[in-house]
Amino acid sequence: MQLTNTIRNYKWNTIAIAILIALILPWKDLFLGFAQTINNDGYNHWLVFEAIKTGNAQFLYFGQMITGYSLVWIEKITGINLITSLMWFSYFTLVIGGIICMILITNVTKSRLAGILSAFVMTFGTGAVVHLFWSGTVFNLVEMIILFPFALLMIFNFTMKKTWINSIWMILSISILLIYHPTFGIQTASSMGNIIQPMQSPLRTNFDMIKEGYQNPLFTLFYMIGIANFTALIICVKSLWEKKLPISTGVIFWICSNFAIIFGALAFTGWTAFSPRLAMNFAIVINLITCLLAGIVIRERLKSSWIVITLLIVGIMPNLVMWIGKY
């Protein structure tokens, strides 16, 4: 009976997850073993993983190492080659990221509709995510749409209920976030000597020209964030301000805001050579903030709710159409 009630209560979440999986996974290519995601950084990761077999692998960071050994072990057990398993890993990163974001937004804002929308906004609705995916920069994606939202969720759970179990989960999630990938500047890549080493850009050609493009806030706004999403953000802020409702979801909002400021400052000031990647991280965090505020607007049933919902759906469409067009 309890299981039946749970399924009934989360019926729409289950349907949303099923749709997300159906849209993201290219079933024909997955079962044929055609690796569409092995390009740019993905190719370099594959070379490192192959070097594990001979004991000559030079890892850039912890996430690459633990994933590489896991995929090599899977190859030994199942016979699935590294390119195919890396492809599966890349696609399921998007699926799991969408689900984690849905759980986070639902729990923080208490709006199931906003949570469901966020699963698609944080995958198809964010140009930065799609670009990182097709560039093969899967570990940056794991960090930004899985580990970061998961850490936020654990922090939120701890603030709601300060138990020792919640504290352990919070500490573990933050620790994994900090050591998995250099996104948050905690570790250095083996090939670089900087104390703060964000990431090597996946953009190999015309790097200077592309770097200048990504350093342009308007380029980031229109392509990486999406003009519809940014408009929804402005409407949310305006609506909450007019109703004198707090433009915040507590500590989660402020953590996201601080990281948006840091990523934005590093991306657009030219302080680091890794501005393109930081601009994409900035865009991802901005859209996460948009989903958080949209959740409040929807939960409070403000007049602008349907406008915000419409804008978020519109923002999903361009990348979704392009994605479907690839298959």
**pTM for the complete prediction?**
0.85
pLDDT of residue 131: 84
Predicted local confidence at residue 164, as pLDDT: 92
Closest residue by Cα to residue 220 from 162, 161, 263? 263
* pLDDT score of 41 more than 80: no
pLDDT one-digit tens code per residue, 198-246: 333 333 344 444 444 555 666 677 778 888 999 999 999 999 888 877 7
pLDDT for 98: 95
Q: Tell me how far CA of residue 8 lies from CA of 1, 4, 107, 119, 132, in angstroms.
A: 11, 6, 18, 20, 36
Q: What's the confidence (pLDDT) of residue 119?
A: 95
What pLDDT does 272 receive? Answer: 63
User: Residue 153: its pLDDT value, please?
Assistant: 95
User: What CA–CA distance (Å, rounded) separates 132 from 280?
Assistant: 8
Question: Tens digit of pLDDT for each residue in 158-174?
Answer: 999 889 999 999 999 99
Query: Phi-psi bin for 201: left (phi > 0), alpha (psi -120 to 50), beta?
Result: beta
298 versus 83: the higher-pLDDT residue is: 298
pLDDT at residue 249, rounded to an integer:
63
Query: Encoding tokens for residue 285?
Result: 């965090």
Q: Which of 37-46, 84-93, 123-132 has the lowest mean pLDDT?
A: 37-46
Residue 105: predicted pLDDT: 95
Specify the residue for token string 């729990």.
107
| Whole-number Å distance between alpha carbons of 144 and 281 | 7
- Residue pointed to by tokens 């998007």: 94
- In angstroms, the CA 2 to CA 5 distance is 5
- Tell me what percent of the residues of the chain surpass a pLDDT of 90: 33
128: confidence class by pLDDT, cuts 50, 70, 90: confident
Query: What's the rounded Cα separation, in Å, for the pair 200 and 153?
Result: 28
Dihedral over alpha carbons 183, 16, 127, 320 (to 10 degrees)? 150
pLDDT at 5: 53
* Cα of 190 vs its chain's centroid, Å: 24
Distant-in-sequence, close-in-space partners of 62: CB < 8 Å, separation ≥ 6:
179, 180, 181, 187
